[in-house]
Amino acid sequence: MSGREAFLSTMAETLAGIAAEGLTKRERPIAGPQGTRVDLGGRLMLNLCANNYLGLADDPRLIAAAGGAMQTHGFGLASVRFICGTQDIHRALEARIAAFLGKDDAILFAACFDANGGLFEALLGPEDAVVSDSLNHASIIDGIRLSKARRYRFANADMEDLDRQLRAARSDGARHVMIATDGVFSMDGYLAKLPEITALAETHGALVMVDDCHATGFMGPQGRGTPHHHGVADRVDILTGTLGKALGGALGGYVAGPQPVIDLLRQRARPYLFSNALPPAVVGAGLAALDIVEAADDLRAALFANARHWRAGLEKAGFRLLPGEHPIVPVMLGEARLAQAMAAELDRRGVYVAGFFFPVVPKGQARIRTQMNARLTRADLDLALGAFEEAGKAVGAI
């Protein structure tokens, strides 16, 4: 066997292993825009699995803003920001994000994955420490791996463990200590305990970094996110987030924080220095999205009313949910096969959901993660509840 043949046969074996465990992920092409209904191969399905919390992904105002920005600023930049890729609208969007979140400044990245990937390495050295929640998003985990800071991990939302790890970091002589957490843990819809986390940070002289991807736009007053929701915005030092969820759902990430932090990231963050500027369409739509979102109390009210109605209906039908208020509503099923069977039954009934199982969630905690959208109507939800009830009975989940 040649070297190339041997390599490709290793790839094929790995793929066969993934398939044998029933863990192959299959992508289903949607013909048309993201919305409360999606066209899956000619079938119009009710969609309960997008991060499209405010329903802006196909909003005509964003499409118009994107088109307008392309007319005035062109299609692409063909440059990283620091060479010749910064337009006036990039700086305008950064200032707009910073003002929205109540921070000095912000810096755009191609995605929040890149924002988290570049942050820790640029800001922390080997004499520093990061204390990270065990359920943090993969991009935070990777970003911490790329930094030379010493790593401490605390059990998800366990404040005693956080206190222990902060003490350990201090007694190991760390110069700066940064706590890193998701604002909302996306598999469960649980909110990070920011009041306790920021209080512990104060006690131990630590900084707090929050990734608010599953909150920006709809949690807290005007959708300013979990730090504002908990009333601790001035005690959260650094925020990261995405334009790829509630804020229109295209792509683009950012870090917002104190001026020296943003200035240093512009000098040192590798995904910023070595990757292309965001395209004008995305930047123009991002500016419009923030204007819409800031004034969208009606959409936020509809979103949370939907979440309450949906939770109550599922509970009444006998499903086991994780408690909470967030529009992520996980329906707990236990075994992966049950979650897969349930997703298939729902599919047959015109409801599009995603099953989550190991390794994305712990073994025995397989689930269907449903997500609410402000634009789903009561009739949509009641139709979906009927489908869940039938499907749940068909697979023996209720």
Summarize as ranges the residues that interact with ligand PLP (CB under 6 A): 111-113, 116, 137, 139, 182, 186, 211, 213-214, 242, 244, 253
CB 123 within 8 A of CB 149: no
137, 214, 230, 326: which is the annotated catalytic residue?
Answer: 214
Q: What is the enclosing helix (H) or strand (E) of 154?
A: strand 150-154
186, 204, 228, 230: which is the annotated catalytic residue?
Answer: 186
Nearest approach in angstroms of CB 249 to ligand PLP is 9
Q: Closer to ligand PLP by CB, 186 or 371: give it.
A: 186
214 carries an active-site annotation: yes
Q: Is 28 strand, coil or helix? A: coil
Q: Closer to ligand PLP by CB, 97 or 341: give it.
A: 97
What burial class does residue 10 get, using C-beta atoms within 10 Å of its C-beta: 0-12 exposed, 13-18 middle, 19+ buried?
Answer: exposed
CB 178 within 8 A of CB 151: no
And the tokens for 24? 């192959």
Measured distance CA(298)–CA(196) in Å, rounded: 30
309 carries an active-site annotation: no
Q: Closer to ligand PLP by CB, 182 or 345: give it.
A: 182
Measured distance CA(229)–CA(216) in Å, rounded: 10
CB 369 within 8 A of CB 187: yes
25 carries an active-site annotation: no
Q: Closer to ligand PLP by CB, 141 or 398: give it.
A: 141
Q: What is the DSSP letter of 84?
A: I
And the tokens for 368? 């269907």
Q: Closer to ligand PLP by CB, 182 or 237: give it.
A: 182
Enzyme catalytic residues: 186, 214, 245
